[in-house]
Amino acid sequence: MTRLRTTFPLFLGLVLKLKMGSVGKFTSGYGDKRNDWGLGVLALYRTLTALGAPLTRWHLRRRAAKGKEDAERLAERFGEAGLARPEGKLVWLHAASVGEATSVLPLVERLQECRATTILVTSSTVTSAEMLARQLPAGVIHQFVPVDIPAAVSAFLNHWRSDFAIWVESELWPNLVTATAARGTPMVLIQARLSDASLRRWRRAPGLIRRVLSCFKLVLAQTEANAERFRALGARSVATTSTLKYASPPLAAEHHELKVLQRQIGGRPLWVAASTHAGAEETAVLDAHMALAEHLPTVLTIIVPRHPQRGDEMASTIAARGYSVARRSAADLIEAHHQIYLADTLGELGLFYRIAPVAFVGGTLSAAGGHNIIEPIQLGTAVVCGPDLANFTEVAEDLTKAGALRTVADGHQLAGTVGLLLQDSERRTELVQRQKGVTDSRAEVLEDVMTALGPYLPVHSEG
């Protein structure tokens, strides 16, 4: 599973750099005496996080000064609510960052349609908050999740008093999880994943993992293989559903901007490298452009960095390779001499996927676990990726079974695969059809999740 994010790197670095598979070592539930060691470690964790609260506040203020936290909403990170709690029932969903938050948007909408309840969505990152501000339905509340110190957790839980909590994927903070469970709030973990490595670690402490899993009424695993791992560790209720990412609506795009870009590009061959990471991955993309240009001299490569604030750095790197670059953040027009279009803006992937017939999805050549490969497929773009799809294991398995997964190991292979797809429209169309067939076949996942959550959802008042 993904690494646990920490806001206490100095005081608690050794503890909080553990992978999510180890979080349960600090998590309490309700079990037998064999789990007393787990309770002792949890007590130590709570003490350390309480003592480290001043350091945490200092660290978050530094992050806010660098734009890594929302300075105007920093109080929310310490459990101080930015809004009043509405009367009535409240369902709380926690989705750590952009990927998880995007995946639950269909679930949020579905809950809002069928329940007369308030919905609260928490997340950890500034980018996720910006995305949710644009895309959450009217009436849904967003707050930043509190840091995992006891006082902040208590303030958050005292204010919001949730009637049901849904945790998404991987970010489970020990104090927040256990304090929520201690208040009797039913909790369900959806899109759950457990790696083989985590399974091996947990087998050394079977009583402890039972405590962890006992905090959740239900675990909805992404795949049957994941479900079996949770069952092997003693989870009392496990079911399998597909990832909610399959249920996400296609990314939006502004029609006028689409037409403007299409006019600027004209009939040039083009492809997009989306959500790319610094280092070897972006080097591979630039290497691929160089190789492509030998056979397609007018090819345009659109690069959409995962972190657009790196625009200046990337533009310099591209220029140092001798390429002519236009930047979207500078409102540059794409002219015939431009070889690279640097799309260093947020929230416009839907635009570029609609323009490009082929997309390389980043995070797959950079040990980041991969980013959303479903989004371009939904828009009819042929998808190519690297081998690291740890965040999309089920999707990768589904595509592999359908003969629709195209992976590359480096810039040379990337150029060869992209070039073949750009020049062979029949092959590209066949790949798109196979890939889209997989995503379309999983569209029922939202109803499956709603059915599983039904017994735990608070009873709503009749209107």
Tell me which range, 111-115, 158-162, 195-199, is most confidently predicted by mean pLDDT: 158-162
Provide mean pLDDT across the span 94-117: 87
Q: pTM of this prediction?
A: 0.77
User: Coil, strand, or helix at residue 326?
Assistant: strand
DSSP-H helix ranges across 82-149: 98-114, 126-135
If one looks up domain 13-242+445-456 in CATH, what number appears?
A: 3.40.50.11720
Domain ranges for the chain: 13-242+445-456, 255-441
| Statement: residue 118 has pLDDT above 90 | yes
Catalogue the active-site residues.
Answer: 100
| Statement: residue 198 has pLDDT above 80 | no
User: Looking at residue 210, what is its pLDDT?
Assistant: 73
Provide mean pLDDT across the span 330-353: 96
Provide mean pLDDT across the span 428-456: 93
* H or E, element range at 446: helix 445-453
Provide mean pLDDT across the span 226-242: 87
The sign one gets for the Cα dihedral 337, 340, 345, 346 is: positive
User: Looking at residue 207, what is its pLDDT?
Assistant: 63
User: Looking at residue 209, what is its pLDDT?
Assistant: 67
Higher pLDDT, 15 or 243: 243
| Statement: residue 6 has pLDDT above 70 | no
- Where b means 16+ CB within 10 Å and e means fewer, 137-175 reads eeebbbbbbbbbbbebbebbbeebebbbbbbbbbbbbbb
Token code pair at residue 399:
């595509």
| Superfamily, domain 255-441 | Glycogen Phosphorylase B; (3.40.50.2000)
User: Looking at residue 170, what is its pLDDT?
Assistant: 66
Tell me which range, 37-41, 96-100, 124-128, is most confidently predicted by mean pLDDT: 124-128
Token code pair at residue 263:
């006019």
Lowest-pLDDT choice from 210-214, 375-379, 387-391: 210-214
- The CA–CA distances, whole Å, from 186 to 213, 214, 217, 429 equal 13, 11, 6, 46
Q: Are 142 and 121 in contact (CB under 8 A)?
A: yes
> Mean pLDDT across the chain, nearest whole number?
87
The answer to whether domain 13-242+445-456 and domain 255-441 are alike in fold is yes
Length of the chain: 463
User: Looking at residue 205, what is its pLDDT?
Assistant: 61
Side by side, the strands of the sheet bearing 340-342 are: 325-327, 340-342, 300-305, 270-276, 358-361, 382-385
User: Looking at residue 393, what is its pLDDT?
Assistant: 83
